[in-house]
Amino acid sequence: CISKWHIAIYYPHLWGFIMHMYRRRIKTYVFSFLRHDLKSSITVFFVALPLCLGISLGCGAPLYAGLIAGIIGGIIVPVISKSSLSVSGPAAGLTTICAAIILASASIDLFFIAVMLAGIFQIILGVFKLGGFTQFIPSAVIKGMLGAIGILLIAKQIPFMVGYDQPDFWTNELFNILTFNHGFEHLGSLYQHSSGGAIITAVSSLLLLIFWKRNLSKKIPYLPSSFIIVIFGSLVAFFIGKFFPAFALNESQYVNIPKNVFGDFHFTNINLIVNDPAIWKNAIVICFVASLETLLSVAAIDKLDPYNRITPQNRELMAQGTANFLSGWVGGLPITAVIVRSSANAEAGAKTRWSSILHGMWLFIAILFLVGIMNKIPYCALAVILISTGYNLAKPKMIKAVYHQGKEQFFPFIVTLLAILFTDLLIGVLIGVVYAIYFLIKHTYEAGYTIKQKTEGHITHFVIELALNVSFLNKKRIQVELDKIPAYSIVEIIGTDSVYIDQDVLEIFQEYKVKAHNKHIQLIMTNIPEVKILELH
């Protein structure tokens, strides 16, 4: 083995060539970093900043909780994960869940403990290589879950759009607004706390957002729409306050981040874990939804990767679990891989995980030096961004597409969506899965075989062709069909195309030999295995 010093002394020309190639490689890497990852990190930062604030607002958590989650998700996850393009942070899909947990908890530390436990559960899922569990959830149920989250997200932002600065307008599920216990009792308060300036700001921001996405987003792809809406909404609110003081927004209708964000910083009091048994249920819900959203987002981003790099699912769960544990420990929101940021990262031309890491560093710098600017952002502008996110989750086009896929897809979809709106996310998804399994069983029950009938003279000929898989679910229908066959017929049972025929079904065929003989039926069985029947006496 020749050392580099030996080459440098005795082979100076070779050493010079090696150093030239090394410097060239470094130069190429630096150029690629500046051209791709650095630029992409700035784009993702502009996408992430308003989303971190808006999701904190939607959750009813301190605004810095979303920023902390964005920083940890941006820096910690890519260090552990092997995903090159995905970007993690607080996710809109968990907003309604977090809001319900925070409202139901006696202390916000109980919510943060649930986030920590969810992180531990994710690490366990990764260690035991259970990252593929999403493949067992029907796509119709997943779409129904996302659609319900989108509807809830939109509904809970409407009060903020009109300037309502009390976060308890309605509490849990959407249809609580149809009862007098939650929604209508606040209508008087809604009128008193509404602001004409907030309505003008929100409506104008919403119109700009629609115009931007339809006409300018493809022409100026490096400017994210969320950043444009934040700037525009802040300017509109500023000019309204300056030239129309009667419509000016109140201080409570603006983002309010303490100038010294870390002044009240404290680690979560883990001792409170014994105070509320609901922590464990909340942790399971957060773990399930966060893992589901992460794995779906990562799978989608891998398809956008021009280098076709595949992210290991179990490694990603361990990375997300570590980040969630740390986020809950220091007072941050739950973290997932976020499709909005990740797709913006890919579209901006990112090549490596450095783009995500740098975006987390920019968020940290913003907390340290840009709090004064962020406090000029009105809540109603952030509400517009979240409404746009909710609409993307529950697009009418998506619902229409599921409808055209047939009742096997649409019914589980709509059942899941309505179940979540009337109950909660975990129960709703379970109802959707059970309903999807019912459809599967029904389909399997009806699809075990085909039967054809033809008459030649006075003799009826029945041909029963078994399906690829014949399970015990088909047992009853097969038995009923065989019993209906009249005497003096010809029956041919064909199992040529079958890979699996359940033992119960084979026993029915074996028992039918005796019945066929007694009814003078000519029975022909092709590729049907012989089985022994147990006599129970």
What is the per-residue pLDDT across 514-524, written as a single tens digit (0 to 9) for each?
A: 899 899 999 99
C-alpha span between 528 and 495 (Å, rounded): 6
Local structure of residue 36 (DSSP, 8 states): I
User: Does residue 140 contact residue 431 with C-beta atoms inside 8 Å?
Assistant: no
Find where tokens 């910690």 sit: 76
pTM score, whole prediction: 0.68
Q: What is the pLDDT of residue 186?
A: 54
SS3 109: helix
CB atoms inside a 10 Å sphere around CB 263? 7
Ranges of the chain with pLDDT below 50 = 1, 167-184, 536-537
Q: What is the pLDDT of residues 156-196, one digit of tens each?
A: 778 888 877 654 444 444 444 444 444 445 555 555 667 78
Sheet holding 522-526, edge to edge: 449-456, 459-466, 490-494, 522-526
What does DSSP say about strands 490-494 and 522-526: parallel, antiparallel, or unpaired? parallel
Q: Which helix (H) or strand (E) holds 524?
A: strand 522-526
Residues 6+ apart with CB under 8 A from 532: 510
Residues 6+ apart with CB under 8 A from 490: 459, 460, 461, 462, 521, 522, 524
Q: What is the 3-state secondary structure (H, E, C) of 413-476?
A: HHHHHHHHHHCCHHHHHHHHHHHHHHHHHHHHHHCCEEEEEEEECCEEEEEEEECCEECHHHHH
User: Does residue 66 contact residue 52 with C-beta atoms inside 8 Å?
Assistant: yes
Rounded to the nearest 10°, the torsion over CA 106, 111, 117, 122 is: 150
User: Does residue 250 contact residue 316 with C-beta atoms inside 8 Å?
Assistant: no
Q: What is the pLDDT of residue 121?
A: 96
* CA 28 distance to own-chain centroid: 37
C-alpha count within 13 angstroms, C-beta hemisphere, residue 122: 35
122 is written with which tokens? 């994710």
User: Does residue 381 contact residue 201 with C-beta atoms inside 8 Å?
Assistant: yes
SS3 254: strand
* CA 368 distance to own-chain centroid: 31
Quote the radius of gyration of the chain (alpha carbons, Å): 31
C-alpha span between 86 and 340 (Å, rounded): 10
Q: What is the pLDDT of residue 178?
A: 42
Distances, alpha carbon 359 to alpha carbons 74, 356, 368, 454, in Å: 6, 5, 15, 72
Distances, alpha carbon 241 to alpha carbons 61, 200, 250, 257, 475, in Å: 27, 12, 9, 20, 75
170 is written with which tokens? 């309605």
* CA 250 distance to own-chain centroid: 35
Of 86, 92, 42, 132, the closest CA to residue 337 belongs to 86
Rounded to the nearest 10°, the torsion over CA 429, 431, 434, 440 is: -80
